[in-house]
Structures are given as C-alpha cells and as structure tokens.
Chains A and B, each alone.
Chain A
C-alpha cells in the first residue's frame, strides 16, 4: 500500500535535486557570462554579444566538469587515505 508512496518520494527527491543542480549551473552561467560578454548593454543584443555568450556558456559547463572531476577524484583519494589511516589506528600501529 505504501510502496507507490516511497517510489514517488524517491522520484520527487531526484527530480528536485536535478532541478536545483540545473538552477545552480544556469545562475553561474548568467552571473559570469553576462559580466564578460555584455559589459555595456545596448538596445538590442549584438551578434558579437550572442557569439560571446554562446562560447562562454559552453566554456562554463566545461569548467564545471573539469572542476567536478578534480574534486570527486580528490575526495575519493582523501577518503581512501582516511580509511587506511583508521585501519592502521585500529591495529594499534
């Protein structure tokens, strides 16, 4: 009886997380690329501004991935060391 509720809850949590992630990425893009590409807003968006914005967006996502890979790899490394350390401590060495 409660099974669909749990599944529903899990799905909602995952959806909300995905939305929050997307929102953070979009906010980052807007914050940084607006600054870089549209220093003096004209009456319309120029072709150059548009090109700049597109490139900036691609690069920001690339930067996000680069940083993410580095961070996760480091996190795993530190966790392994921590585990090794507590294992040695457990042995009384």
Chain B
C-alpha cells in the first residue's frame, strides 16, 4: 500500500489526532472564558492570587463533573 496516498491510514490517523487536539483546545478556550469571569473579579494584578488559581482549577474540575453527569444521564436513556 502506498503510505503517502491521500486516503492512507496514516493520514487518517493524523487528521483524527489533529481533530482531537483542536477539540481539546476549543474546550480549554471555552472553559478559560467561563472560569475567568467567575474567578477573576478584581482588576488584574501582575500575578494570580492563590485564591484565583485555586478557583480556576476548581472551576475546570467542576465543569468536567457536570459534563460527566450529563453524559451518564444520556447514556441511561439509550
């Protein structure tokens, strides 16, 4: 099989990987926007306070918890 052809399995894998990476980045961007609004309430100083850092981490974690709950609910409908 010609590994350099456009329909090669290797290229499909590459595209699949890139797609996945793009999805992760999109999610990170969305989460950053949401969590910034929740956690960074004052005028930004030059560095995060530890409270802000913790808030950002918690915010991302809870969002993931929520996604899991939704996923489980939909799985139970099948």
Contacts and interface: CB of A to CB of B under 8 A. Distances in A.
How many A residues are at the interface, by size bracket? 35 or more
A5 B6 contact: yes
How many B residues are at the interface, by size bracket? 35 or more
Chain B facing A: main interface SS: helix
Contact of A66 (B33, B46, B47, B56): B56
A61 to B, nearest CB: 9
Given A63-B32, A63-B36, A70 B56 contact: yes
B33 A28 contact: yes
Interface of B: 2, 4-6, 8, 11, 14-15, 18, 21-22, 24-29, 31-33, 35-37, 39-40, 43-48, 53, 56-57, 59-61, 64, 68
19 contacts: A2-B4, A3-B4, A6-B11, A17-B21, A28-B33, A32-B36, A55-B44, A56-B44, A59-B44, A59-B48, A60-B32, A63-B56, A66-B60, A67-B31, A67-B32, A68-B28, A71-B27, A72-B28, A74-B60
